[in-house]
Every structure is written in structure tokens, then in C-alpha cells.
Amino acid sequence: MKNIGLIGLGVMGKSLALNIENKGFDISVYNYTPEETRNFMENEAREKNISAFYDIKALVSSLNKPRKIFLMITAGKPVDSMIQKLIPFLDKGDLIMDGGNTYFQDTARRIEELKGKGIFYLGIGVSGGEAGALNGPSIMPGGSREAYDLVKDILLKIAAQTEAGPCCTYVGNGAAGHFVKMLHNGIEYGIMQAMSEVYDILHRVLKLSTEEIGDIFETWNGGELNSYLMEISYKIMKHRDVKTGKATVEMILDKAGQKGTGKWTAQTSLDLGIPTPTLNAAVEGRIISFFKEDRTSLSKYVDKKYPEASYDKEKLVAKLEKSLLFTNFIIFSQGLWLIAEASKEYSFDINLSETLKIWRGGCIIRAKMLDELRKIVDEDKENVNLLNNKRSMEFLMDKLESMKDVTNIAKDFYIPVLVHNTALDYFYSMVAENLPANLIQAQRDFFGAHTYNRIDKEGIFHTTNWE
Ligand code: 6PG
């Protein structure tokens, strides 16, 4: 009998199956299209302790009780339909795990639906792409602790390992795992956009070649900006297109795709009333990039007057390093605030410090900065807005002048830096004792009698004679 079953032999599913087998567990696999299963068994899984099944009943029958089944299939309807196919063969106490990028509200619904049948369900965030799934991803399981305990031995072993331990922990109740994965991706969008803005400035202001930008990214990766995304970006910068001999990245059309997790993050922040403008701007950046034809035709109308001054390369590179640190810190702080608020709202009971720990290895947003963030979180567990911390403010203030210079230079060169700008404006808003929201309140009261509060006395007021 097998320890675990895995359904879905796409890139992530195959890699995860091999990882599970490699850690000494007996695994059964199934895929919707039998050709894919055969192909897997004849190639990657050849001579591995992996058993393939071509119908669901046989797969389920091959498993030890309580059965544990990992779904690595496309999020959305396919998950519901697979659950329906599994139910007739499952018993009370069996466990289904969804390792896809599922919208957390779908996971919450499925947990409830299956609870009625006595079947456990975990929503599991899995990050790290193909290499991560194979060698050790960051794993974010959410659901009941009882369900987690059934499978934690396997999850802890297949996760990435760091000095601080495995990059897997019980994230929290209900849909906590998929919620944290959604925020991981919202942060991922923000950091990727911020890096692409810096790349644009290095290209267009300093006129550096892609190779030279790669060298700068490589140097940064050796310092405070050390991260997986920085590492892959310097490698990307140095990659040459075989056909043209040019840098491959320069041959790629500038339209960014997306599968929904960044958008859900933005939608959730609006629903919960927690400000994440920088994460949201990253989604907008991808959306705007899609309008290539409009951008191309409109670009002809702008008569660009560039500054005469030339910039000292070393100085500007140093400023950009700081502006990126500032922006990344703001991105993380917004994301963590939203997690903390959602944890209260949905009773997830998420531990922010543990979340940062399991993001330290295996996942796409793993970065040196997470160590500093963890110290800040650990200093005051009740503080959900990381800006309310001396260490945070010192970190940001040290970089503020660079941030101002970088965003100003971008404006002078007509370079859009949506994420940098919103990071700075968010910071300015959060440190502004007075915001002009008084005018908005007056306007609301003028046209709709929406009332307002006063600064000099308690109560609700309405002005009847605005004219
Ligand atoms: C990860 C990634 C992974 C995937 C994203 C990409 O953590 O391993 O986030 O989940 O690459 O889905 O998302 P977009 O297609 O929306 O950029």
C-alpha cells in the first residue's frame, strides 16, 4: 500500500511526485490524460518507486488509510470536478490536499463541503516553480490541524530546508494556506515590477547594456538585495538569444501575463480596507503593459525633452540599490499587514514570524530582507503595520533621499515607475499627520449630505448652506 497519491502530472505535479519518491515515500500517481502518465513513467519516473494508475478508483484503492491525495491540477472548476470524482471512493477521515494557486474563498467553501462528508481538506500553497517542487519548495498548508498532522511528516521532508528548519509549517485554519500563497504572489508581482523599473532606468538613463545591468544585479545579489528574483534576473540579463545573438530578454515582447493571484490580492485588500497600493500598482503595471498597440501609437504624441545633465554611474547605481530596498520593504510591509488583518477577519490565526520563516527558502520571494522583517515582527507580535517600528523607520529613512532622487529622475526621463511611486506616496501618506481628506469630506457633505467630523469637537456635522 502507498503512502500518498498525487493527481495531475503537469510540470509541478511531476516534480513534486519525484521529490516525494526521493524522500523515501511510496507514491501513486494519476493524470487525466493517460498519455501523460505513460510518458512520465517511461521517462522521468523510470526506475523510480512510483506506481501509475489509469483510473481513479484504482489509485484510491492503492493507498494506505487514512488516504492522502495531493491534487496538482489547474485551479478552479477542475478541482471541484476532481473532488466529485474522488468522493465515491473515499472514506471518513481521508484527506484531499490542493497544491494549486487556488482562490482562498474556493478553498474555504471546499473545506466546509467536505467536512459534511467527514473528509479532511487542506489548501496548500506551494511555491518555487519546477525546480522548487523537485528539490524542495516552500509549503504553506492551511486547514484543520488534525488534517495537517496526517501528512506533516511528508510535507516537512519534501520542503526546502534552511538553517532555520524546513520551509513548511502549519499556516493556520481554513483557507489560511492559500491566503498566504496568494499574498506571496501579490508580493512577488510587486518585487518583479520594482526590479523591472530599475532595469528600465539603468537602460534608459545610464544607457547601460543588458550585460552591464546583469553585472550590477549580480553585485546587488551579493549584498542586502540578495534574493532568488535578483539571482534569476542577473542570469536572465546575461542570456543570449541563439538566433540573433542579442540578449534574450531584449527579444521578448513587453506584455506581462498573469494568472490571477495578484489581482485577488488587490481585490482582497480593497474588501478588507487595508492599503496595499504598491501591490495593486504592480497588477496595474502588468495590465497596462498589455496595451502595446495603444502605447505604440500614443508614444508618437509626446515630444520628449530629456535633461542635459549626465548622471554619475556609480552614484545612480547606489541610489537605485537603496530605492529598490525601500520599495521592497514597503511591498513586504503592505503584504504582511494584509495577512495580519485577514487572519483576524477570517480567524486564520496565522503566525507572521513563522510565515516569514517558511518564505526564507524554496519560494520565489525568498530574500535576505526576510531576516530583518522577521526581527521586526518578533519585536512586537501585536504590531501588524511594520512601519510602527523604530528599526523599520530607520531602514526607510536611510533610503528616502535615494528614493526621492530615483523617482524624480524617472519623471525627467518619462520612465513609468508605478511601484516605486506608490511605495513613496504610501510612505508619505502613512507619515503625514494631515491628509487633504478634509476636502473630500466637505465635498461629500456638499453634494450628498454625507456629514463629517470636526477637529475641534466630538459629533457628526452637516453644513446646510454650502452655497
Ligand atoms: C510560485 C509562483 C507560481 C507561479 C505564479 C505565476 O510561487 O512558485 O508564484 O505560483 O509562477 O502562478 O503567476 P502569474 O502567472 O500570475 O505571474
451 C-alpha vs ligand 1 centroid, how far in Å? 44
347 C-alpha vs ligand 1 centroid, how far in Å? 26
53 C-alpha vs ligand 1 centroid, how far in Å? 29
Q: What is the pLDDT of residues 208-247, one digit of tens each?
A: 999 999 999 999 999 999 999 999 999 999 999 999 999 9
Q: Whose CA is nearest to atom 17 of ligand 1?
A: 258
Q: What is the pLDDT of residues 89-134, one digit of tens each?
A: 999 999 999 999 999 999 999 999 999 999 999 999 999 999 999 9
Neighbour-count burial of 410, counting CB atoms closer than 10 A to its CB (0-12 exposed, 13-18 middle, 19+ buried): buried
Counting ligand 1 atoms within 8 A of each CB, the residue from 355, 364, 365 with the most, and so the one to mutate, is 364
Catalytic residue ranges:
181, 188
Confidence grade of residue 309 (pLDDT, cut at 50, 70, 90):
confident
Quote the pLDDT of residue 280.
98
Q: Which three cell numbers stand for residue 199?
A: 532595469
What CATH number has the domain spanning 181-430? 1.10.1040.10
| Whether the predicted pLDDT of 5 surpasses 90 | yes
| Whether the predicted pLDDT of 310 surpasses 90 | no
- Class assignment of domain 4-174? alpha beta
Q: Whose CA is nearest to atom 9 of ligand 1?
A: 185
197 C-alpha vs ligand 1 centroid, how far in Å? 20
Domains of the chain, by residue range, sit at 4-174, 181-430, 435-467
What CATH number has the domain spanning 435-467? 1.20.5.320
- How many other CB atoms sit within 10 Å of the CB of residue 387? 18
Atom of ligand 1 nearest to the CA of 101: 10
Q: Whose CA is nearest to atom 14 of ligand 1?
A: 258
Pseudo-torsion of CA 188, 194, 198, 203, nearest 10°? Answer: 80
Confidence grade of residue 294 (pLDDT, cut at 50, 70, 90):
very high
Pocket of ligand 1 (CB under 6 A): 101, 127-129, 184-185, 188, 257-259, 261-262, 363-364
Q: Whose CA is nearest to atom 1 of ligand 1?
A: 127
185 C-alpha vs ligand 1 centroid, how far in Å? 6
Quote the pLDDT of residue 318.
98
Quote the pLDDT of residue 118.
98
State how far the alpha carbon of 275 is from the alpha carbons of 160, 187, 266, 426, in Å. 31, 13, 9, 8
Across the range 275-280, mean pLDDT stands at: 98
Tell me the pTM.
0.97
| The three-state (H, E, C) secondary structure of the chain, written as one string | CECEEEECCCHHHHHHHHHHHHCCCCEEEECCCHHHHHHHHHCCCCCCCEEEECCHHHHHHCECCCCEEEECCCCCHHHHHHHHHHHHHCCCCCEEEECCCCCHHHHHHHHHHHHCCCCEEEEEEEECHHHHHHHCCEEEEECCHHHHHHHHHHHHHHCCEECCEECECCCECCCHHHHHHHHHHHHHHHHHHHHHHHHHHHHHCCCCCHHHHHHHHHHHHCCCCCEHHHHHHHHHHCCECCCCCCEHHHHCCCCCCCCCHHHHHHHHHHHHCCCCHHHHHHHHHHHHHCCHHHHHHHHHHCCCCCCCCCCCHHHHHHHHHHHHHHHHHHHHHHHHHHHHHHHHHCCCCCCHHHHHHHCCCCCCCCECHHHHHHHHHHHCCCCCCCCCCHHHHHHHHHHHHHHHHHHHHHHHCCCCCHHHHHHHHHHHHHCCCCCCHHHHHHHHHHHHCCCECCCCCCCCECCCCCC
Counting ligand 1 atoms within 8 A of each CB, the residue from 185, 227, 255, 355 with the most, and so the one to mutate, is 185
Across the range 426-435, mean pLDDT stands at: 98
Q: What is the pLDDT of residues 382-416, one digit of tens each?
A: 999 999 999 999 999 999 999 999 999 999 999 99
Mean pLDDT of all residues in the chain? Answer: 98
Q: What is the pLDDT of residues 40-50, one digit of tens each?
A: 999 999 999 99
